[in-house]
Amino acid sequence: MTTRYFSSLIEQSLSRSTEATLSIMGVTNPQLREHLAQQMGADCGKPGSFLASPVFQQMFGWKESNHTMRSLTEGNALLSKAVVDSLDDQN
For the ranges 39-43, 80-84, 86-90, the lowest mean pLDDT is seen at: 86-90
Q: How far apart are CA 82 and CA 91, in angstroms?
A: 8
- Mention every residue, 6+ apart, whose C-beta is less than 8 A from residue 25: none
Q: Which residues have CB under 8 Å from 17's CB, separation 6+?
A: 40, 50, 51
What would the pLDDT profile of 5-64 be if each residue is shown by its tens digit?
Answer: 677 888 888 889 888 999 999 989 999 999 988 888 888 788 777 777 777 666 667 788
Q: CB-based contacts of 18: which residues, under 8 Å, 6+ apart?
A: 37, 40, 41, 50
As to burial, measured by CB atoms within 10 angstroms (0-12 exposed, 13-18 middle, 19+ buried), residue 2 is exposed
3-state SS assignment for residue 13? helix
| CA neighbor of 36 nearest in space, from 21, 54, 51, 53 | 21
